[in-house]
Structure 1
Amino acid sequence: MTVRALLGAALLALAGCGADDRGTTRRAAGTDAAYPPIGRLVDVGDGRQVHAYVTGSGPDVVLIHGASGNVRDWTFRVADRLSDRYRVIALDRPGLGYTDRAGPSYEGAFTARAESPAVQAEMLSQAARALGAERPLVVGHSYGGAVAMAWGLDRPAAGLVVVSGATMPWPGGLGPQYAVLGSSVGGAVLAPAISAVAGRGIVDRAVQVIFAPQPVPEGYVDHLGVALTLRPPTLRANARQINTLRPHVVEMSRRYPTLDLPVEIVHGDADEIVPPDIHARPLAEVLPDARLTMLPGIGHMPHQVAPDAVVAAIDRAARRAGLR
């Protein structure tokens, strides 16, 4: 979640000359040219599209990224490890990467103009079905873990893998930056400012916080295309989704004991972004068929710093679900 580290720089810009909308537009166009879609755009109705990266063959595995991410997060170290035995479908979540925002045709689509995990799961499951994946194994990282849980609760799935997932209610709030960015005024003014001033040094420091205590793998930032995250509409959508997540998780958690699916949970015990004592361990206790793998000394990004452990969990979930 890069917003915290970028907020201070954006406020400095606002105190000075402010944001240049024309410059922001030019940068966004340059970002799209530098980091074009790496997959296909799947029509899900009402003129809306979901960006899907598809590779390999075999049982279907859907990969859902976390906050501030896109499909490239999964293609850095995981997709190639799976494609020899699964058909891998990595999806940009609504409003991020190259997937459109959800619309009014999605029942209950917006809470404070943000898509709930359930609405995101519906939109992404429609894309998966359009690709022929009727009952996939669904894997979600961080915020994507909440979307994976929503998918399992309401949509056909063979099983779930939750990696560093934000899946249980947590105490307190998320900090003022998400509320400000998620507001209409903050989204209109602050998001372009962040986009305008976020240099490579600021981005690198923000990513280091996300990976701590592990170092950021060489080439990760360039592969991910962090500039995609810094487009103003993406910043706004991301902040609104994060800011409204907790009440959805509260409601979803009441239904977790009814979930009749095999679930693999993978979490680093050094994760300070999504603490395992608040999320992974309580989730494992309330699910009827869960297996928890704690990774000693690992932070918030196990799929990047310990990808073999995540791939092993996917293989276990596939076996438990009868896919292999």
Structure 2
Amino acid sequence: MLARMTWIALGTLLMLIAGCAALTQKREREAQRAYPPVGRLIDVDGTRVHAWVRGSGPDLVLIHGAGGNLRDFTYQLTGRLTERYRVIAFDRPGLGWTGRLPGYGGPGGAQGESPQEQAALLQAAADRLGVRNPIVLGHSYGGAVALAWGLSRPDDTAALVLLAPVSNPWPGDLGFFYDVTGSALGGAVVVPAITALASKAQIESALEGVFAPQPAPAGYANHIGPGLTLRRAALRANGQQVRTLRPHIVEMSQRYRDALTMPVEILHGAADATVGLSIHSEVLVDQLRDARLTRLDGVGHMPHHADPAASVAAIDRAAARAGLR
């Protein structure tokens, strides 16, 4: 009897796993059909890079944060910019429609592309697009990539605009979610279950947490396509990149003062509970030679949505300070 019950339990478990796998694949296919690439797909030595390019004027590169994609900017920010700038928005490696760099990815992986490696990939794609002396804007994790961009190309980066940027070492860890999705075991076992089972209510709750204390804008979720983020490969990429970020930030922060001499505009919400103002931007402004910090009272982690006019003003100030206006 015990052996029979064991076989029944094993059979039930295998059926559940098979059903979960089928649902996972179905949800990924649906997300990719609903949210296809909106820009150009550029091959960079075998890695696909998704770039959205519109407008005319000085080059302005936009780099999104953790778990997002370039649609975060096309929701409402880019429409305020394309009449005066040539705007180039990228998906970062493993997110949106950009592929991962060779040697990264897979369910058993535990390492993520560094900000320096991500910047190098996006720079190579930007070179293919004829980008020269750009203003580089980065939000959150994308702020770390923007800083890496400036560190590697100080003489060909007109200015940096940093929105709630990850810029300095932080105390403690980043929480259970990244420990799980960024680990080899979690990537292989837990991530497929998240892809298959995440509900609309859970997605909306996560978005509200990112935007707090502001609400998520109406229609934002439908525009950005959370299903793209919930794909297994994207969840693993995001978890691995965030989980392994801190040592790279430690190393980068030691070089800010000497290498980053271009104008830098920093915009940070005083109510940001995701990337703390006092840990990051209030320290960063004193590490740089030509930086200005704008604090937005009552604003959380998404300043370009909470106050898009302030974000555009920061870009315009950076352009003027760099002699592009």
Structure 2: how far apart are the matches of 1:277 and 1:72?
29
**Which amino acid in 2 is paired with 1:52?**
A
Deviation at 1:322, TM superposition (A): 1.2
Unaligned 5+ runs, structure 1: 1-13, 106-110
**Which amino acid in 2 is paired with 1:298?**
V
Structure 2: how far apart are the matches of 1:151 and 1:251?
14
Match of 1:68 in 2: 67
Q: TM-score, normalised by structure 1?
A: 0.91
Kindly indicate whether residue 105 of structure 2 is the aligned counterpart of residue 120 of structure 1: no
1:194 is paired with a residue whose SS is: helix
Unaligned 5+ runs, structure 2: 1-12
Kindly indicate whether residue 321 of structure 2 is the aligned counterpart of residue 323 of structure 1: no
Kindly indicate whether residue 157 of structure 2 is the aligned counterpart of residue 157 of structure 1: yes
Contact 2:81-2:87 at 8 Å conserved across structures: yes
Structure 1: how far apart are the matches of 2:319 and 2:164?
19
Match of 1:133 in 2: 131
> Runs ≥4 in structure 1, deviation > 6 angstroms?
none
**Which amino acid in 2 is paired with 1:290?**
A
**Which amino acid in 2 is paired with 1:59?**
P
Q: Count the aligned residue pairs.
A: 304
2:210 is paired with a residue whose SS is: helix
**RMSD over equivalenced CA pairs, Å:** 1.6
Contact 2:62-2:90 at 8 Å conserved across structures: yes
* CA 1:202–1:104: 2 relative to 1, 3 Å: closer
Kindly indicate whether residue 79 of structure 2 is the aligned counterpart of residue 80 of structure 1: yes
**Which amino acid in 2 is paired with 1:48?**
T
Structure 2: how far apart are the matches of 1:177 and 1:74?
25
1:153 is paired with a residue whose SS is: helix
Match of 1:172 in 2: 172
**Which amino acid in 2 is paired with 1:317?**
A
1:132 is paired with a residue whose SS is: coil
1:292 is paired with a residue whose SS is: strand
Match of 2:41 in 1: 41
Deviation at 1:134, TM superposition (A): 2.4
For residues 213-232 of structure 1, the aligned pairs below 5 Å read 213-232=213-232
Match of 1:54 in 2: 53
Structure 2: how far apart are the matches of 1:280 and 1:99?
28
1:114 is paired with a residue whose SS is: coil
Structure 1: how far apart are the matches of 2:110 and 2:238?
13
Match of 2:183 in 1: 183
Deviation at 1:177, TM superposition (A): 2.1
Deviation at 1:157, TM superposition (A): 1.1
Deviation at 1:17, TM superposition (A): 4.3
Structure 2: how far apart are the matches of 1:128 and 1:205?
35
Match of 2:272 in 1: 271
Larger Cα-atom Rg: 2
2:24 is paired with a residue whose SS is: helix
| Structure 1 range deviating more: 80-89 or 171-180 | 171-180
Deviation at 1:104, TM superposition (A): 5.4
| Structure 1 range deviating more: 23-32 or 232-241 | 23-32
Kindly indicate whether residue 245 of structure 2 is the aligned counterpart of residue 242 of structure 1: no
Structure 2: how far apart are the matches of 1:157 and 1:25?
41
